[in-house]
Amino acid sequence: MAQYRITFLPMDRVFIAEDSENLLEIAMKYGIHINASCGGNAACGKCRVKIIKGDVYAPIHPKIPQWEYDAGMRLACMTIPRGDVTVEIPLESQIDRAVLKRRRRAPHILSAIDIGQLVKGWEVDPAVFKRYIALPEPSMQDNISDLGRLMREIKRKHNIENISVDFKILTRLSRILRDSRWKVTVTIVLTRKGCKLINIEPGNTEDKNYSIVIDIGTTTVCGQILDLANCSALKLIEHTGNGRDICTIAESSDYNAQISYGEDVISRIMYSRRKGGLKKLNEVVIGTINKVVKELLETSGINIEHISHLVFAGNTTMTHLALGIDPKYIMLSPYTPTATLIPPVRAVDLGVNVNDHVHVYIFPCVASYVGGDIVAGVLGSGILKRDKITLFMDIGTNGEIVLGNNDWLMCASCSAGPAFEGGGITFGMRAGKGAIEQVKINPTTFEPMILTIGRVKPLGICGSGLIDIVAELIEVGLIDQNGKFKRDLQTERLRAGESGYEYVLCYTLETQINRDIVITEADLDNLIRTKAAIYAGCRILLENAGLSFGDIEMVVIAGGFGHYIDIEKAQTIGLMKQRGLQR
């Protein structure tokens, strides 16, 4: 991948850019403001820049007349450098130098590392593995049962014995052995009590061993297909540029269809107490899981036959509902879940559309409000293996926070609300195509610069976009410390809307929806409440451990939210504070 030097005028700042980035993305990355409100889709025509020097790729576009194009004018969102380039930002996009200086933040001590670093060098040793075996054919001298023969050879060739057998294999065992001319691959699962044979396939499919892992969130259900065969061989998770490790073949997510029946776990539990409510909630979340599974299989092109197991992680209520277990007592004092440690379940028994032999392994919960999702996070992020005192945050609709290290772990739970997942925000949406994910606001003109996921016309605002927007609103002085818009500012973008004051991010024509996309004071209130809940959770946890914020050596923010969050912006809105500044 080539790298080029990009010089922005008139501020005369020079940055290094990848050859795949366009000028709008480069400017956004390095904090150079260029007006843009269509998300990077060449629709608004506002991100005009002038190429002073250097070679760029930029198609002719109706928003730039020929005479302007000849003079070097281009749309930043459509312009990709092909070498070192000097670009001039036109007047309407420029920010006053004095303002620019004022905006410059203190150098931050918090620094981002990604999950790959946290678990680098860990061995991956899947509980479900495959072994290829070529069996000797039966003869009159050696005519033990087919199953006996298989077990004998598994012991001889792979030294695995005392294997129990899933009954369902038996009905097809003899046929598969003969059709495959006695060359088969067995799938074995390591259980708490030994090995179990769960599947048999003709031929050698050792390298086709995949699992599907599902994070059942209150608002969002996320899934990944993992390649167990090749992870196992490498014994190491290595990261690719896009933040996925090489185990991950495909990702997919969708709203948990339960949101029609309540936004948080308490309202879901309330709904489950109605007649037929539990059944309904169970059905719809299984429906969502099936959608995610289907999409994962389609995206990855992996044959459903090669999915060996499923893993679910969810908070305690989601775990109960996904399994069809009544969550009633989770919300009744003394708040007892039915079970925290769940035995493996056959996926088809739960209604999940995978093969018969596939079992679901469910991350154990800790208590009614500390679920399997956070257990998975603690395990996955390796807190329990390090000396460093770490604060682990899993911020979904239910925020869960773990504090500790390899000696001890404590946990708190807080009702964060769905703001960061797009819930309770007027134009909130999940982090999908069309979601506004990055925003800058010109501190003089209050014109925004907007990038969307997929660089399409905006549809709404996702969690990280929301933090960006609020951080910018604070930075440029559009809102005060109480989260209220300053009524006295002279800009058309600030206006009294139907439900109070609001800031217009995109006008109707620039969006995919037939409305202006705005952020309202009610949205700000929701974000503040969410932030306050998380802050309170952290503080109480620290106090109970006899520690303060200053003692935290590492913060891990779980999930997609953690992946996309801009640490600087999160500090700006007070979601995080630098060490030493906060007590």
* Sign (positive or negative) of CA dihedral 362, 364, 368, 369: negative
From the list 10, 194, 203, 550, which residue makes contact with its own copies (rule: CB under 8 A)?
194
Contact 441, 475 (CB under 8 A): yes
- Measure the CA–CA gap between 329 and 155, rounded to whole angstroms: 47
Residue 343 near its own copies by CB under 8 A: yes
* Distance of closest approach, residue 190 Cβ to its own copies, in angstroms: 12
Of the chain, the end-to-end C-alpha distance in Å amounts to 44
Residue 275 near its own copies by CB under 8 A: no
Report how far Cα 30 is from the mean position of its chain's Cα atoms. Answer: 24
- Measure the CA–CA gap between 563 and 561, rounded to whole angstroms: 5
Pick between residue 283 and residue 568 the one whose CB is nearest to its own copies: 283
Q: Which residues pair with 36 in a beta bridge?
A: 449
Residues 541-580 that bind its own copies (CB under 8 A): none
Residue type present at position 9:
L
Contact 569, 557 (CB under 8 A): no
Nearest to 212 by CA among 257, 238, 251, 240: 251
Residue 345 near its own copies by CB under 8 A: yes
Residue 202 near its own copies by CB under 8 A: no
- Measure the CA–CA gap between 9 and 3, rounded to whole angstroms: 19
Residue 341 near its own copies by CB under 8 A: yes
Residue 325 near its own copies by CB under 8 A: yes
Residue 165 near its own copies by CB under 8 A: yes
DSSP 3-state of 395? strand
Residue 277 near its own copies by CB under 8 A: no
Residue 279 near its own copies by CB under 8 A: no
From the list 57, 122, 335, 408, which residue makes contact with its own copies (rule: CB under 8 A)?
335
Residue 136 near its own copies by CB under 8 A: no
How many other C-beta atoms lie within 10 A of the C-beta of residue 122? 13
Residue 473 near its own copies by CB under 8 A: no
* Distance of closest approach, residue 335 Cβ to its own copies, in angstroms: 6
Nearest to 307 by CA among 226, 410, 250: 226
Part of the chain binding its own copies (CB under 8 A), chosen from 187-195, 519-527, 551-559, 560-568:
187-195
Residue 145 near its own copies by CB under 8 A: yes
Pick between residue 169 and residue 573 the one whose CB is nearest to its own copies: 169
Residue 410 near its own copies by CB under 8 A: no
Pick between residue 67 and residue 167 the one whose CB is nearest to its own copies: 167
The size of the interface with its own copies (CB under 8 A), counted in residues, is 47
- Measure the CA–CA gap between 103 and 472, rounded to whole angstroms: 10
* Distance of closest approach, residue 395 Cβ to its own copies, in angstroms: 25
Part of the chain binding its own copies (CB under 8 A), chosen from 83-91, 263-271, 299-307, 360-368:
360-368
Nearest to 563 by CA among 401, 449, 394: 394
Part of the chain binding its own copies (CB under 8 A), chosen from 120-128, 230-238, 362-370, 449-457:
362-370
- Measure the CA–CA gap between 97 and 99, rounded to whole angstroms: 5
DSSP 3-state of 24? helix
Q: Which residues pair with 451 in a beta bridge?
A: 438
Residue 148 near its own copies by CB under 8 A: yes
Part of the chain binding its own copies (CB under 8 A), chosen from 172-180, 299-307, 445-453, 470-478:
172-180
From the list 53, 175, 181, 388, which residue makes contact with its own copies (rule: CB under 8 A)?
175
Pick between residue 139 and residue 490 the one whose CB is nearest to its own copies: 139
Residue 265's φ and ψ, nearest 5 degrees, are: -65, -35
* Distance of closest approach, residue 365 Cβ to its own copies, in angstroms: 8
From the list 117, 164, 499, 582, which residue makes contact with its own copies (rule: CB under 8 A)?
164
Tallying the residues shown for the chain, one arrives at 583
- Measure the CA–CA gap between 361 and 375, rounded to whole angstroms: 13
* Distance of closest approach, residue 322 Cβ to its own copies, in angstroms: 12
Residue 329 near its own copies by CB under 8 A: yes
From the list 204, 338, 445, 491, which residue makes contact with its own copies (rule: CB under 8 A)?
338
From the list 174, 240, 260, 548, which residue makes contact with its own copies (rule: CB under 8 A)?
174
* Distance of closest approach, residue 191 Cβ to its own copies, in angstroms: 8
Residue 270 near its own copies by CB under 8 A: no
From the list 340, 355, 405, 415, which residue makes contact with its own copies (rule: CB under 8 A)?
340
Q: Exposed (0-12), middle (13-18) or buried (19+): which is 254, by Cβ within 10 Å?
A: middle
Residues 26-55 that bind its own copies (CB under 8 A): none
Q: Which two tokens stand for residue 492?
A: 């058309």
Residue 328 near its own copies by CB under 8 A: yes
Residue 147 near its own copies by CB under 8 A: yes
Nearest to 146 by CA among 108, 177, 171: 177
Q: Exposed (0-12), middle (13-18) or buried (19+): which is 430, by Cβ within 10 Å?
A: buried
Q: Exposed (0-12), middle (13-18) or buried (19+): which is 91, by Cβ within 10 Å?
A: exposed
Q: DSSP letter string over 54-101?
A: S-EE----TTS-HHHHHTTEEEGGG-EESS-EEEE--GGG---HHHHH
Contact 403, 545 (CB under 8 A): yes
Part of the chain binding its own copies (CB under 8 A), chosen from 80-88, 165-173, 291-299, 303-311:
165-173
Residue 139 near its own copies by CB under 8 A: yes
Residue 304 near its own copies by CB under 8 A: no
Catalog residues that contact its own copies under the rule CB under 8 A: 138-140, 142-149, 162, 164-167, 170-171, 173-175, 192-194, 323-326, 328-329, 333-345, 349, 365, 367-368
